[in-house]
Chain A
């Protein structure tokens, strides 16, 4: 239920706006923003943070030897630093394995968060996993938004039979068993991250299309649109100048806050054995590795806590951060409060 800004906003500097003021004064907003910012930094500097533990293939594809990795990859003056940060080879997303034993190993100096079953370094998985989390989240939301805006915009603007046809189509997609469609798509086209993202995006756009349509209908009914119409402005101009901006703005903000929850969908897929390929740095998969270690040996029920606490915490914090931010933005945009 989107809170559209019903009044046409006056142009004013963002930093002086009431919205920003309200946002700033909300302690939970600050917490949320800090969490998201923290993950963003971790994601951006993942190569530097894990320079001491990169996998063989990652180093090879970067053209860096293990001995000089720390020096090179933590030095912003070195071009390799930028290459690794901006465009790391895909092999870096694979968690390097320390041995193959299925039994987890507790935190140690070299592996401060421990090693998960199968020899996967938990710290590495979490750091690079934050990259995949943003990557998946942002891409899914952008694709879903794009489709949603095109379809929602067309229905809202044109109305009539176009509206009816497109909305029935939207209903059909909305009525799809999302998870099953995603599973079928992933089984057919393979477990690559791209397929997973596209599949999730394709089942999640209808929400945005409906939201946008609703917003447009609301804005269309506003006085200032009637006023513009009375002044004789052409309908297309009214739509693009007045209606669309006022409907899309809140939609984009709200949609972007769903980024956090995409991680959960991927985690569910991992549980069903359809997440990214085994060994890919992805939080959902890491919790799934830990699935059989939630309970420890007799007498030590929490012996393997580190296998699921860390990735679980990462997911929870990530979602929490986006949610707090989301609530705060919603509150701040709400003119009544």
Chain B
């Protein structure tokens, strides 16, 4: 027994000898998000898109960290015609796919039509379809499973006509109506050009009318492009085993050869483990959850660099939503005698708004590294108005509004309401608990409960419009204000719909902005929306934390572009 033990210990020590850090031509990034798919028509999460944006390419893209300057990628230039209804792209010549096939307009047409044909409900296709064919879902879901052949035919015609090749290197988009958001949508990493010849060979949609309906709403995660890539990007996929992704530089890339030749994106769920790997040099970059961890565990580590800037903010916005008229039988989130339209009264909304202590949130949760929002739009976006006032933390004003609400009845009878947040989101939980403490302080008859909901539960309650008040946010799909203004402020918007918001004036403004091509005029309308929303306290915009990146200190060329899923491209960095 003793001998065996000795042998084991000896072996362990031998095996344990330390190894050198990651080589110079290799980039290792440890993060936590599961990669969902590698299919550009399906990918709708940062974890997937951070791979796709490096192996595939779009027509145009953002210039480094700018959101307003673009550079040509697979297109060399573009023209807008017919008052913003037609977009013509001149494609780059001599570009090769990873498979060796040359890239032509045929591939571009196939890629966009494929998005429109398949358009899975959980994918990003809806915003392309909205602009190009006027529907926001695939044929089967938009027309129903049993529509007549003629109706389907019409739908196919829409798809077919909206994306056309004028010649081998000229791509033409015809929109249903002038749409100022369309160009921004083409910068989305999923608007990538896939290798049509290779895809069809491997059993993807044939690109013709023949089998298009079979592919409407088909589960793309079970088809070839889900796991395999042939793009034009500077990196080519070596392996994706469902967890980590390995990529290597593509030696026939048309552009500048990148300095980093090998990339490993590793999914490591436990933060403590990621930090130790960074310390040890096994990772070049790791995801760190928040400023608290950053300041208390990372800052000061030898060999580690923190990249941050007060102007870095995610392209995201979060607010506290109020439900103007809560629905659902036996609603567990509302007291029995509490009126269902509790938040239908503007006084109640304003009172709650005055009880959100924004400074405390920024100070305590973000250690001062936070940005306040005046409206539900990222400050870097067109139309953001920094001059709109923010409801200050003021219990006296809140009390005044509460006393005015429901003609004074609410103050006398009190209410009971539950603030919900999605379980695991510490920020939203803190907002909820803070609000609870502050509201209950005002009047002992006010009762506020806080409940964390599991995601499935949350989905159900949100869908049934059962939640009375909940903090929630969303990250931009594409860098256009409409991606925020419509969902947050239009009565049919994806988020506002669930709060039974119905303010005709807001709806009118949102629609007007959508139809306005001139950016200056659009910006003006958005500012008016922001101000109106503030006056009516439609929702309470919440502060967001300043973004940061944690790497080893030999990594060069790091920048922050909020529209990049990996916040920078692999090809732009190098190592000393």
Do A and B share a complex? yes
- Whether, in the assembled complex, B464 has its beta carbon less than 8 Å from a beta carbon of chain A, the answer is no
Check if A102 sits within 8 Å of B290, measured CB to CB.
Answer: yes
Closest to A97 in B: B433
The CA of A117 and the CA of B297, in the complex, are separated in Å by 13
- Whether, in the assembled complex, B293 has its beta carbon less than 8 Å from a beta carbon of chain A, the answer is yes
Check if A57 sits within 8 Å of B423, measured CB to CB.
Answer: no
Interface string of A52-95 (1 = CB under 8 A from B): 00001100100000000000000000000000000000000000
Contacts of A277 in B (CB 8 A): 451-452
Assuming the A-B contacts A273-B423, A292-B271, A298-B301, are A190 and B457 also in contact, with contact meaning beta carbons closer than 8 angstroms in the complex?
yes
Check if B452 sits within 8 Å of A57, measured CB to CB.
Answer: no
Check if A57 sits within 8 Å of B297, measured CB to CB.
Answer: no
Size range of the chain B interface in the assembly: 20 to 34
Q: Per a CB cutoff under 8 Å, which of A101, A273, A294 touches B424? A: A273
Assuming the A-B contacts A191-B454, A277-B452, A297-B297, are A100 and B302 also in contact, with contact meaning beta carbons closer than 8 angstroms in the complex?
no
Check if B292 sits within 8 Å of A101, measured CB to CB.
Answer: yes
Interface string of A275-286 (1 = CB under 8 A from B): 001110000000
Q: Report the count of interface residues on A (CB-CB < 8 A).
A: 27
Contacts of A278 in B (CB 8 A): 423, 429, 452
Interface string of B420-456 (1 = CB under 8 A from A): 0001101001100110010010001000000110101
- Whether, in the assembled complex, A118 has its beta carbon less than 8 Å from a beta carbon of chain B, the answer is yes
- Whether, in the assembled complex, A234 has its beta carbon less than 8 Å from a beta carbon of chain B, the answer is no
Contacts of B424 in A (CB 8 A): 273
Contacts of A299 in B (CB 8 A): 300
Check if A190 sits within 8 Å of B454, measured CB to CB.
Answer: yes
Q: Per a CB cutoff under 8 Å, which of A100, A279, A296 touches B297? A: A296
Interface string of B396-423 (1 = CB under 8 A from A): 0000000000000000000000000001
Contacts of B289 in A (CB 8 A): 292
Contacts of B440 in A (CB 8 A): 56-57, 60
Assuming the A-B contacts A102-B365, A277-B452, are A60 and B437 also in contact, with contact meaning beta carbons closer than 8 angstroms in the complex?
no
Assuming the A-B contacts A100-B364, A100-B433, A100-B434, are A187 and B301 also in contact, with contact meaning beta carbons closer than 8 angstroms in the complex?
no
How far is the CB of A169 from the nearest CB of chain B, in Å?
29
Count CB-based A-B contacts (< 8 Å). Answer: 68
Check if A292 sits within 8 Å of B451, measured CB to CB.
Answer: no
How far is the CB of A26 from the nearest CB of chain B, in Å?
30
- Whether, in the assembled complex, A291 has its beta carbon less than 8 Å from a beta carbon of chain B, the answer is yes
Check if A297 sits within 8 Å of B272, measured CB to CB.
Answer: no
The CA of A99 and the CA of B367, in the complex, are separated in Å by 13
- Whether, in the assembled complex, A103 has its beta carbon less than 8 Å from a beta carbon of chain B, the answer is yes
Contacts of B275 in A (CB 8 A): 295
Q: Which of A102, A190, A277, A297 has the most CB atoms of chain B within a 10 A radius of its CB? A: A102
The CA of A99 and the CA of B360, in the complex, are separated in Å by 9
Assuming the A-B contacts A100-B433, A190-B457, are A292 and B293 also in contact, with contact meaning beta carbons closer than 8 angstroms in the complex?
yes
Check if A99 sits within 8 Å of B364, measured CB to CB.
Answer: yes
Check if A103 sits within 8 Å of B433, measured CB to CB.
Answer: no
- Whether, in the assembled complex, B296 has its beta carbon less than 8 Å from a beta carbon of chain A, the answer is yes
How far is the CB of B466 from the nearest CB of chain A, in Å?
15
Q: Per a CB cutoff under 8 Å, which of B292, B295, B423 touches A117? A: B292
Contacts of A279 in B (CB 8 A): 433
The CA of A292 and the CA of B297, in the complex, are separated in Å by 9
The CA of A326 and the CA of B77, in the complex, are separated in Å by 79
Contacts of A296 in B (CB 8 A): 296-297
Check if A60 sits within 8 Å of B444, measured CB to CB.
Answer: yes
The CA of A278 and the CA of B423, in the complex, are separated in Å by 8
Contacts of A117 in B (CB 8 A): 292
Q: Per a CB cutoff under 8 Å, which of B271, B296, B430, B444 touches A297? A: B296
Check if B296 sits within 8 Å of A103, measured CB to CB.
Answer: yes
Assuming the A-B contacts A57-B440, A100-B430, A100-B433, are A187 and B454 also in contact, with contact meaning beta carbons closer than 8 angstroms in the complex?
yes
Interface string of B267-306 (1 = CB under 8 A from A): 0000110011000000000000110110111011110000
Closest to B424 in A: A273
Q: Per a CB cutoff under 8 Å, which of A102, A103, A295, A298 touches B302? A: A298
Contacts of A187 in B (CB 8 A): 454, 456
How far is the CB of B270 from the nearest CB of chain A, in Å?
8
Contacts of B290 in A (CB 8 A): 102
Assuming the A-B contacts A101-B365, A102-B290, A187-B456, are A118 and B426 also in contact, with contact meaning beta carbons closer than 8 angstroms in the complex?
yes
Closest to A101 in B: B364
Contacts of B271 in A (CB 8 A): 292
Q: Which of B271, B293, B361, B454 has the most CB atoms of chain A within a 10 A radius of its CB? A: B454
Assuming the A-B contacts A100-B364, A100-B430, are A297 and B300 also in contact, with contact meaning beta carbons closer than 8 angstroms in the complex?
yes
Interface string of B249-280 (1 = CB under 8 A from A): 00000000000000000000001100110000
Check if A100 sits within 8 Å of B300, measured CB to CB.
Answer: no
The CA of A295 and the CA of B277, in the complex, are separated in Å by 13
Contacts of B364 in A (CB 8 A): 99-102
Contacts of A97 in B (CB 8 A): 433
Contacts of B276 in A (CB 8 A): 295
How far is the CB of A110 from the nearest CB of chain B, in Å?
18
How far is the CB of B49 from the nearest CB of chain A, in Å?
25
Closest to B455 in A: A187
Check if B437 sits within 8 Å of A56, measured CB to CB.
Answer: yes
Contacts of B361 in A (CB 8 A): 100
The A160-213 residues at the B interface (CB cut-off 8 A) are 187-188, 190-191
Contacts of B297 in A (CB 8 A): 292, 295-298
How far is the CB of B429 from the nearest CB of chain A, in Å?
6
The CA of A294 and the CA of B276, in the complex, are separated in Å by 12
The CA of A292 and the CA of B426, in the complex, are separated in Å by 14
Contacts of A56 in B (CB 8 A): 437, 440
Contacts of B437 in A (CB 8 A): 56
Closest to B444 in A: A60
The CA of A191 and the CA of B424, in the complex, are separated in Å by 12
Contacts of A101 in B (CB 8 A): 292, 364-365
Contacts of A188 in B (CB 8 A): 456
How far is the CB of B272 from the nearest CB of chain A, in Å?
6
The CA of A117 and the CA of B293, in the complex, are separated in Å by 11
The CA of A217 and the CA of B10, in the complex, are separated in Å by 50
How far is the CB of A308 from the nearest CB of chain B, in Å?
11
Check if A291 sits within 8 Å of B429, measured CB to CB.
Answer: no
Q: Per a CB cutoff under 8 Å, which of A57, A100, A191 touches B365? A: A100
Contacts of B301 in A (CB 8 A): 298
The CA of A99 and the CA of B361, in the complex, are separated in Å by 10
Contacts of B456 in A (CB 8 A): 187-188
How far is the CB of B492 from the nearest CB of chain A, in Å?
32
Check if A292 sits within 8 Å of B272, measured CB to CB.
Answer: yes
Interface string of B466-508 (1 = CB under 8 A from A): 0000000000000000000000000000000000000000000
How far is the CB of B33 from the nearest CB of chain A, in Å?
15
Q: Per a CB cutoff under 8 Å, which of B272, B360, B457 touches A291? A: B272
Q: Which of A99, A103, A273 has the most CB atoms of chain B within a 10 A radius of its CB? A: A103
The CA of A17 and the CA of B407, in the complex, are separated in Å by 75
The CA of A295 and the CA of B444, in the complex, are separated in Å by 42
How far is the CB of A190 from the nearest CB of chain B, in Å?
7
The B522-563 residues at the A interface (CB cut-off 8 A) are none
The CA of A60 and the CA of B440, in the complex, are separated in Å by 10
The CA of A245 and the CA of B26, in the complex, are separated in Å by 70
How far is the CB of B281 from the nearest CB of chain A, in Å?
15
Interface string of B295-326 (1 = CB under 8 A from A): 11101111000000000000000000000000
Contacts of A292 in B (CB 8 A): 271-272, 289, 293, 297
Contacts of A102 in B (CB 8 A): 290, 292-293, 364-365, 426
> What are 21 A-B pairs at a CB distance below 8 A?
A56-B437, A56-B440, A60-B440, A100-B430, A100-B434, A101-B292, A102-B292, A102-B365, A103-B296, A118-B430, A190-B454, A191-B423, A191-B454, A292-B271, A294-B272, A295-B297, A296-B296, A297-B296, A297-B299, A298-B300, A299-B300
Q: A102-B293, A103-B292 are in contact. List 5 more A-B contacts (CB 8 A).
A: A56-B437, A102-B426, A191-B452, A291-B272, A296-B297
**Interface positions of B (Cβ within 8 A of A):** 271-272, 275-276, 289-290, 292-293, 295-297, 299-302, 360-361, 364-365, 423-424, 426, 429-430, 433-434, 437, 440, 444, 451-452, 454, 456-457
